[in-house]
């Protein structure tokens, strides 16, 4: 009997990372609530994002919220860029929150999403951030 050839096809869904910076003087829970109300998300508070700051030799904790509709849809993470002892991304000190979108499926065009977030009354500004323009790779990806 001859030897069987086995062919396995494995594909990984390509994920695109989109990073938005949000400026607002409101607390993290208020931003999460507003995104839920205005965009139909369901952000829930998750464990704080912890980073050891090498320069300060201190552990930093950044509040984090998470939303995924289902396992095949986009994942959204809202992370504070500020904590009591510093910034998650030092070079973005004018940004209060980071919205990380792990895009598995094309949904709302990014400019439309930015416009919807800007329409929230207590959001000062929303910026699309080019990851390649950052000097140091953030500890969030």
Q: Is residue 65 a contact partner of residue 43, using CB atoms and an 8 Å limit?
A: yes
Q: Residue 51: which of 134, 116, 125, 141 has the closest Cα?
A: 141
Each of the 141 residues of the chain gets a pLDDT tens digit; together they read 566 666 555 555 567 889 999 999 999 999 999 999 999 999 999 999 999 888 888 999 999 999 998 777 889 999 999 999 899 988 899 999 999 998 877 666 889 999 999 999 999 999 999 888 888 766 665
127 inside domain: no
CA distance linking residue 56 with residue 33, whole number of Å: 33
Residue span of the structural domain in which 21 resides: 16-99
62 inside domain: yes
- Total domains present in the chain: 1
122 inside domain: no
45, 81, 91, 99 from 95: Cα distances, Å: 20, 7, 9, 11
114 inside domain: no
5 inside domain: no
9 inside domain: no
């Amino acid at each position: 009997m001859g030897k069987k050839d086995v062919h396995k096809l494995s594909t990984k869904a390509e994920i695109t990372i989109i990073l938005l910076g949000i400026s607002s003087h409101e607390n993290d829970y208020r931003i999460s609530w507003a995104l839920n109300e205005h965009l139909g998300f369901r952000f829930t508070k998750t464990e704080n994002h912890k980073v050891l700051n090498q320069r300060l030799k201190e552990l930093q904790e950044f509040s984090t919220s998470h939303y995924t509709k289902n396992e095949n849809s986009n994942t959204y993470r809202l992370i504070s860029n500020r904590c009591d002892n510093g910034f998650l991304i030092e070079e973005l000190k004018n940004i209060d929150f980071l919205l990380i979108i792990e895009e598995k499926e094309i949904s709302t065009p990014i400019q439309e999403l930015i416009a919807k977030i800007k329409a929230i009354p207590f959001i000062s500004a929303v910026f699309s951030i080019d990851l390649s323009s950052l000097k140091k790779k953030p500890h969030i990806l």
